[in-house]
């Protein structure tokens, strides 16, 4: 097993064994991930930082409000927080100015959808397809979102459960691949492939590692994102 996955599974087991802090009325869930952009997730070092995700209560149309903030290492102030709506299937709609989501956030927020990993509840080695839309102003390969006209990206993925991690059951290793396709503008395709560690006890991905490549070629043709849950 990849040493990064093993280390993330160990941390996830420690988190699950510890009681979760009391939730406030402001957020139904408060998640903190360390991330790495073109590097491993860590608390210090170039390309690293923390992403804080506050998941609110239900919205009238079936979604939940999500506010996410990327705080890059060695940066005096966190980057701007983006507020979007998350749907059970992983769909994301950013309808508040600046209508944005960052490449770090788009790697994890859809995976927090309530029904994304339900196939694992009956079979830890299930294979399933997951489709959802991301409607936002999104800059592929940029370290942050940007203000502008939002567009829709259609995501379609195949996910395969590989069973529990032997060292840390009941955490499940999931492999995935697929793409997000922009429906306007430059009609960019972002091809994605990677691994997820999903903890069924807290119904949350505790580790995500993915590589993204673009068609047509952009100024940055490929980048990687890694996220590791450190607080929930």
pLDDT at 149: 78
Structure tokens at 178: 């697929």
Neighbour tally for 58: CB within 10 Å? 11
Q: What is the pLDDT of residues 112-167, one digit of tens each?
A: 999 999 999 999 999 999 999 999 987 655 555 554 678 999 999 999 999 999 99
Q: Hey, what domains does the chain have and what are their CATH numbers?
A: 3-231 (2.40.360)
Q: What is the pLDDT of residues 27-49, one digit of tens each?
A: 689 999 999 999 999 999 999 99
C-alpha angle 133-141-115 in degrees, rounded to nearest 5: 30
pTM: 0.87
Cα–Cα dist 196/192, whole Å: 12
Q: What is the pLDDT of residues 64-96, one digit of tens each?
A: 999 999 999 998 877 888 999 999 999 999 998
Quote the mean pLDDT of the chain. Answer: 88
Structure tokens at 65: 């409000």
pLDDT at 58: 84
CA-nearest of 94, 49, 41 to 69 is 49
pLDDT at 24: 37
CA-nearest of 167, 170, 212 to 188 is 212
CA-nearest of 66, 70, 86, 80 to 35 is 70
CB 161 within 8 A of CB 123: yes
- How far, in Å, are 58, 60, 94, 199 from residue 226 at the CA level? 28, 33, 23, 17
Residue at token pair 């450190």: 230
Residue at token pair 């994605």: 192
Question: Which contiguous run of DSSP H or E holds residue 85?
Answer: strand 82-86
Structure tokens at 123: 């079979």
């Amino acid at each position: 097993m990849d040493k990064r996955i093993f280390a993330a599974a160990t941390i996830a087991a420690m988190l699950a064994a510890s009681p979760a802090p009391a939730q406030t009325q402001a957020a139904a869930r408060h998640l903190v991930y360390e991330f790495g952009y073109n590097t491993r997730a860590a608390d210090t070092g170039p390309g690293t930082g923390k992403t804080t995700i506050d998941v609110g209560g239900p919205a009238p149309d079936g979604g939940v409000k999500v506010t996410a903030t990327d705080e890059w290492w060695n940066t005096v102030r966190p980057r701007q927080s983006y507020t979007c709506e998350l749907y059970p299937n992983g769909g994301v709609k950013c309808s508040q100015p600046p209508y944005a989501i960052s490449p770090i956030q788009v790697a994890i927020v859809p995976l927090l959808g309530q029904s994304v990993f339900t196939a694992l509840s009956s079979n830890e080695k299930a294979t399933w397809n997951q489709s959802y839309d991301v409607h936002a102003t999104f800059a592929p390969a940029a370290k942050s979102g940007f203000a502008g006209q939002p567009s829709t990206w259609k995501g379609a993925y195949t996910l395969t459960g590989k069973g529990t991690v032997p060292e840390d059951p009941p955490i499940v290793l999931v492999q995935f691949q697929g793409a997000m396709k922009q429906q306007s503008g430059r009609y960019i395709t972002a091809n994605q492939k990677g691994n997820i560690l999903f903890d069924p006890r807290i119904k949350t991905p505790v580790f995500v590692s993915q590589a993204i490549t673009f068609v047509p070629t952009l100024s940055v043709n490929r980048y990687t994102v890694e996220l590791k849950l450190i607080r929930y």
